[in-house]
Amino acid sequence: MKLDAKNPGYDGTGEPEDVLRWALTEFSPDIALSASFEHTVLIDMMTRIRPDIRVFSIDTGRLPEETFRCAEEAARRFKIRIEWFFPERTGVERLVREQGVYSFRESLEARRLCCRIRKVEPMERALRGLRAWITGLRQDEAESRRDLRQIEIDEAHGGIVKINPLAYWTQKQVSEYTQAHKLPYNRLFDKGYRSIGCACCTRAIEPGDDPRAGRWWWESPEHKECGLHI
b (16+ CB within 10 A) / e for 35-59: bbbbbbbbbbbbbeeeeebbbbbbb
Cα gap 57→47, rounded to integer Å = 17
pLDDT tens-digit profile of 171-198?
A: 999 999 999 999 999 999 999 999 999 9
Residue 202 counted as domain residue = no
Catalytic residue among 114, 115, 198, 226: 226
Residue 115 is among the residues annotated as catalytic for this protein:
no
Phi, psi of 145 (to 5 degrees): -115, 15
Domain tally for the chain? 1
Domain membership of residue 64 (yes or no) is yes
* Cα–Cα distance measured from residue 59 to residue 194, given in angstroms and rounded to the nearest whole number: 19
Task: Please tell me the distance from the alpha carbon of residue 219 to that of residue 217, in angstroms, as a whole number.
Answer: 5
pLDDT of 207 over the 60 cut: yes
Indicate whether 4 pLDDT > 80: no
Residue 118 lies in a domain: yes
Say which CATH number the domain at 68 has: 3.40.50.620
Q: State the angle between helix axes of 171-180 and 41-49 in degrees (0 to 180), rounded to the nearest 10.
A: 60
CA–CA separation, 125 vs 147, rounded Å? 27
Cβ neighbours of residue 202 closer than 8 Å, sequence gap 6 or more: 64, 188, 193, 195, 196, 214, 215
- Residues 31-80 pLDDT 10s: 999 999 999 999 999 999 999 999 999 999 999 999 999 999 999 999 99
Higher per-residue confidence, 228 vs 190:
190
Judge whether 97 lies within some domain: yes
195 inside domain = no
Residue 73 covered by a domain:
yes
Tell me which residue range forms the domain holding 93: 16-188
Give CA 186 to chain center in angstroms.
13
- Do the domain assignments include residue 155? yes
Among candidate residues 39, 68, 77, the one with its CA nearest the CA of residue 175: 39
In a domain, 215, yes or no: no
Predicted local distance difference test score (pLDDT) of residue 9: 41
Q: How many residues does the chain have?
A: 230
Q: What is the pLDDT of residue 121?
A: 97
